[in-house]
Amino acid sequence: MKILVCISSVPDTTSKISFTDGDTKLNKAGVTYIIGPYDDYALARAVELKEQLGATITVLNVGGADAEPQIRKALAIGADDAIRVDIEPTDSFFVAEQIAAVAKEGNYDLILMGRETSDYNSGVVHGIVGELLGIPSFSPVMQLDVTGNEASMTREIEGGKEKLTAPLPLVLGCQEPIAEWKIPNMRGIMTARTKPLKVIPAAGLALTNTEKYSLPAPKGACKMIPAEEAEKLIELLKTEAKVL
C-alpha cells in the first residue's frame, strides 16, 4: 500500500504577521514555520496505517527550500521519503495540479492531507485533486480504517457525522480526532537526515497573482452594558454591530 501525505509549511499561529513589497508578499523575517496542523493529523494517521498494514509513506510539499525543515520533521515522524515541488504555492488550483501530477506518476492508493491549511484556509485542494485524478475525495474525515482495498470513514457533516465506505484509491482531507499528533524521537530525527528528498520542477504555471494582502481590522473597545439595560444592548447590536 502506498500513501501520499501532502503537507504545507505555514506560519506558527502565534507568529506576528506583516507584509512587504507593497503588501504583495508575506514578510517571513522572524516568522516560525510549522507543518500545517491539519496536515499533522493526516501524517499521524498515515504512520499508524504504515505500522498496521506495512504501507509506505511519501511526503509531498509544494514550496521553496525554506520548507525543508518541516519536510525533514515529517520524515522523522515516520515517512519513508519525500518530494518537494520547487515553487511557491500561490493558489489552491495550482497546488492541486502539482499534487495530482505527482500522484499520477506514483500511483498511490491513498492521498491524505489536512482539511485545510491554517494560512489561507481554502479547504478545497483535496476536492480539486480528486477531480483531476478522477477518484473520490472526502473531507473532513475524523476516522479512517483500511481493510484490503476498501476504506471505512467517519466525516463531519452539518449537524452530525456520516459513516461511509469507499474503494481505494481515495483523496481525503483530515481533521482531529483521526489520530494524535506525533513527536519525532531522536532515532527518527537522525534517520530523517539520510532519507530521500527529491526536488522536482512545477507542472505548469500559476493562474493567479496576488495584488495585495491586508490585516484584519483591529478589535474595537469593549462596551460593558449593565444587565438591567437589555434594551440598550439590543439597540447597539442593531445599530453598531449590525448583527440583528
pLDDT tens track for 88-98:
888 899 999 99
2 phi and psi angles, rounded to 5 deg: -115, 125
Residue 148 lies in a domain: yes
Per-residue pLDDT, 218: 80
Q: Give residue 225's pLDDT band: very low, low, confident or very high (50, 70, 90).
A: confident
DSSP strand E in 87-123: where? 110-114
Q: Please give the Cα distance from 9 to 39 (Å, whole number).
A: 9
Residue 220 lies in a domain: no
CB-CB contact of 188 with 77 (8 Å):
yes
Q: Please give the Cα distance from 201 to 217 (Å, whole number).
A: 38
Per-residue pLDDT, 46: 96
Residue 9 lies in a domain: yes
Query: 133-168 burial by CB neighbour count: b if 16+ within 10 A, else e?
Result: bebebbbbbbebebeeeebebbbeeeeeeeeeeeeb
DSSP category for residue 145: E
Cα–Cα distances in Å, from 124 out to 116, 172, 206, 211?
Answer: 7, 11, 16, 21
CATH code for position 30: 3.40.50.620
Residue linked to cell 493562474: 207
Per-residue pLDDT, 221: 77
Computed over its alpha carbons, how large is the radius of gyration of the chain? 21
CA proximity to 153, closest of 166, 143, 167: 143
Per-residue pLDDT, 103: 96
Domain boundaries, position 168: 2-213
Record the cell numbers describing residue 19, joined without a space: 507584509
Residue 219 lies in a domain: no
pLDDT tens track for 102-117:
999 999 999 999 998 8
Residue 187 lies in a domain: yes
Residue 34 lies in a domain: yes
Residue % of the chain over a pLDDT of 90: 66
Residue 232 lies in a domain: no
Residue % of the chain over a pLDDT of 70: 100
Q: Please say if the pLDDT value at position 29 is more than 80.
A: yes
Per-residue pLDDT, 17: 84
Residue linked to cell 519513508: 80
What's the whole-number average pLDDT of the chain?
A: 92
pLDDT tens track for 152-191:
999 999 899 999 999 999 999 999 999 998 989 999 999 9
Count of the separate structural domains present in the chain: 1
